[in-house]
Structure 1
């Protein structure tokens, strides 16, 4: 809508998108992440035929093994002025989760930690005059990634659940459901590996989960409507 922004594409150890943006070429063994094709569709001006052509012109097409993909100059230039990128390995992801919690009291999920680490990398590469405010978009909830939380903090699964649930008295709906699910199981010390385990307990949990999410959406919608009425 006219806002002068630059997107920063943060990738984890699967850095295919970062390599493609940095070099205009992709030579790899494995599968091209699906978001690469989405981005190339936009960079091609929303031309489905052009995007499909890029897929078919990769060698072998789309999901290549020892082949590769080379961006047309027009597509690469479009990306160059709009999208920067950085790759974050697993060790830096875990360290970012821990250090952000120590500094801010906020627990990042690993996907969002990749974005925060990438923003810090980008900020370190810019001159002071070129630095601009950066907005990192949260991707998920840390309770989905309890083994990763435990690895980042070097703690037990139970401690990871407590961290991901938020402080007592201020737990989010997801954390409350996970804590209740833990208490409802007979096995001592049982901890759900993530929010999906909460849902697996049965339809009653799905209904409660849906109700909690709906209530939060309605609360936010009402707040947004009230804000609009004051503008």
Structure 2
């Protein structure tokens, strides 16, 4: 089974704990979509991911009022090429644009997110439950097998204290993103600014050696996030 073959399928998610031996139980919203929207029934084949790198081909063997059981016919395991990449994204004033950036990053393969507040952050609301649904939906839509995660809601200083390489994007930086060489043995934290960019003090506190130019043009915050995701994930192809 290859992703090319999977391109025409509908992918569902079930928590790793719902897999037992050669069967899986699907509940909640995924169950409702399977049975009430897609009208799947006993003996239908479906595709389910555990969000941990595996996609299972399954056959429905039982449908109850609140769950269905399916026999696992085969399984394919995929590598998470971007497991050491963390996108640190500030809450944007426009929730629509913020959610767009999250969705597109997941479609491109980013699986680790840290949402933070900077000195210029305007938006204050935390909609973690809604954001998690967006991540899940984007994972299934793009046939990804790793469930994206929010690691924390924090402030800028805490990100700088994390163990790993920090990359900030600054319009006038001397180094270009294409010059950055990634390795598998360390974490990389790509830090994006809100509308208006990061404050000068925040940029200085990160050190000039961590500043990179994303593009010569000025981009909206959400565009910069998606553009960076495309550039970074392309290096692993």
Normalising by the residue count of structure 1, what TM-score does the alignment of the two structures yield? 0.30
Please identify which structure carries the higher strand content: 2
Q: Which structure ranks higher in relative contact order (CA pairs < 8 Å, sequence separation ≥ 6)?
A: 2
Normalising by the residue count of structure 2, what TM-score does the alignment of the two structures yield? 0.30
Is the radius of gyration larger for structure 1 or structure 2? 1
Please identify which structure carries the higher helix content: 1
